[in-house]
Amino acid sequence: MKLFPRSLFAFAAAALVAGVTMAQQTPPHPAPVPRPVVPEAPVPPPPDVEGKSWVLMDYNTGQIIASKDPDVQLEPASITKIMTDYVVSAELGNGKIHNADPVTISENAWRGGGASTDGSTSFLKLNSQVPLKDLLYGMIIQSGNDAAIALAEHTAGSEPAFANLMNAYAKQLGMTHSQFQNASGYPVANHYTTARDIAILSRALIHDFPEDYAISAVKEFEWNGIKQHNRNLLLWRDNTVDGIKTGHTAAAGYCLAASAKQGDARMIAIIMGANSEKGRADAALALLNYGFRFYESHKLYEANKPLATPKLWKGAENTIPLGVAEDALVSVKRGDYDKLKANLDIPATLIAPFKKGQQVGTLRVTLDGQPVLTTPLVALNDAPEGGFFSRLWDTIMLWFHSDSDKK
């Protein structure tokens, strides 16, 4: 075995001690590098797009984010077929008609919307029978006027009767500025709607009948040996766009109802009276992009979860849970979420009984003092009256309670 010289050993030992000492020392933290303060990103005004009237709506909340003359009554052209689609889908849902129903193509449908007309057609043959589901495809994708008329006649017995049904559903949906005279959108007197009403209708179609709405994303459809493409150019330009319907006549100009979905967010853009097919597509896409870029929707409160449990007088229970019947959603500019303020308006004295779902108070949400959401605050459970003695006791206590309030 070799032995290290004493001097070398001493040097190694000294180095080892120094290393340990160095390892145990904590180096000083480097001085923080100052970072520039990033200013809050402003939200610009909406783009100035083409069209006599237009609307941008957040689907989740139904809020109108931006608009231009949203309540001006205009001819809708084939945008009308969104209403026709909604009515047919509703009647299908009610079991009054069925997708497999054979629908006879009447002379009225053939002459009023067939190949001999100047309008859009599915080239349906006179007196032929076509499955109802195929007519829906032809109306939504090809914008077939003959398909729309045939669907109307099969659903309601005649097109005028169907128009009455359209107006009844429109009223039910809250479309307060619309009047429909036919199923196709053929220009006639007193047939009109608004950009806001079409946005309301489009939101209802997507929500109530998602399977039928999905047809509007189909890019082409073939019937009677003729293949036709969907006229919604945005289906080819942006893969987040999945509907909804185009329209055009000389009087109405170029119209487009478009919707796109990105993650959990969905936007709806309605363009009425643009100057060209490209113009309506450019306008709708600009609005959709603006909505996704600068706005966001938030679920503030979940449905059927207690937001408050105030004192209940003369009840079987001493408190009553209150909440919202539907998720409380708001749409705000990006960066404004933390500025929202919520307030529960609840009567000072609640006396049983209450039924589940009965409105007891109001939830109000504001942003910078301006109302953003107002929705009913409801009882989440039945709250029946208590027994005789508990009600008698609460009657006595209420007398003291009300007397102390006066003081």
For the segment 116-144, what is each residue's pLDDT rounded down to a tens digit?
Answer: 677 899 999 999 999 999 999 999 999 99
From residue 268, give the alpha-carbon distance in Å to each of 5, 179, 198, 219: 87, 22, 10, 19
For 224-241, letters b (16+ CB in 10 Å) and e give: eeeebebbbbbbeebebb
Quick one: CA dihedral 275, 281, 282, 287, positive or negative?
positive
Residue percentage of the chain with pLDDT more than 70? 89
Confidence grade of residue 167 (pLDDT, cut at 50, 70, 90): very high
| Catalytic site residue from 122, 143, 178, 216 | 143
Rounded to an integer, the average pLDDT of 166-176 is 98
* Confidence at residue 114, expressed as pLDDT on a 0 to 100 scale: 75
Domains for the chain: give ranges and CATH numbers: 53-294 (3.40.710.10), 302-406 (2.60.410.10)
Question: 15 vs 89, which has greater pLDDT?
Answer: 89
State how far the Cα of 272 lies from the Cα of 258, in Å rounded to an integer. Answer: 11
158 in catalytic set: no
Q: Are strands 340-345 and 370-379 parallel, antiparallel or unpaired?
A: unpaired
| Contact between 143 and 78 (Cβ < 8 Å) | yes
For the segment 221-248, what is each residue's pLDDT rounded down to a tens digit?
Answer: 998 889 999 999 999 999 999 999 999 9
Q: Across 326-405, where does the E strand assignment appear?
A: 328-333, 340-345, 359-367, 370-379
Which of 272, 263, 270 has its CA nearest to residue 292?
A: 263
* Confidence at residue 36, expressed as pLDDT on a 0 to 100 scale: 74
State how far the Cα of 399 lies from the Cα of 394, in Å rounded to an integer. Answer: 8
Confidence grade of residue 30 (pLDDT, cut at 50, 70, 90): low
Question: What is the identity of the amino acid at 46?
Answer: P
| Catalytic site residue from 67, 81, 120, 245 | 81
Q: Count other C-beta atoms under 10 Å from residue 108's C-beta.
A: 16
Residue percentage of the chain with pLDDT more than 90? 79
128 in catalytic set: no
Mention every residue, 6+ apart, whose C-beta is less than 8 A from residue 335.
40, 41, 43
Q: At what angle do helices 132-141 and 145-156 cross, to 10 degrees?
A: 140
* Confidence at residue 80, expressed as pLDDT on a 0 to 100 scale: 98
**Token digits of residue 89:** 């889908």
* Confidence at residue 335, expressed as pLDDT on a 0 to 100 scale: 87
* Confidence at residue 6, expressed as pLDDT on a 0 to 100 scale: 42
Instruction: Supply φ then ψ for residue 80, to 5 degrees.
Output: -50, -35
356 in catalytic set: no
Rounded to an integer, the average pLDDT of 340-344 is 95
* Confidence at residue 27, expressed as pLDDT on a 0 to 100 scale: 56
Which of 145, 153, 149 has its CA nearest to residue 115?
A: 145
| Catalytic site residue from 67, 78, 202, 331 | 78
For the segment 254-290, what is each residue's pLDDT rounded down to a tens digit?
Answer: 999 999 999 889 999 999 999 999 999 999 999 999 9
* Confidence at residue 264, expressed as pLDDT on a 0 to 100 scale: 85
Cross-strand pairs, 68: 54
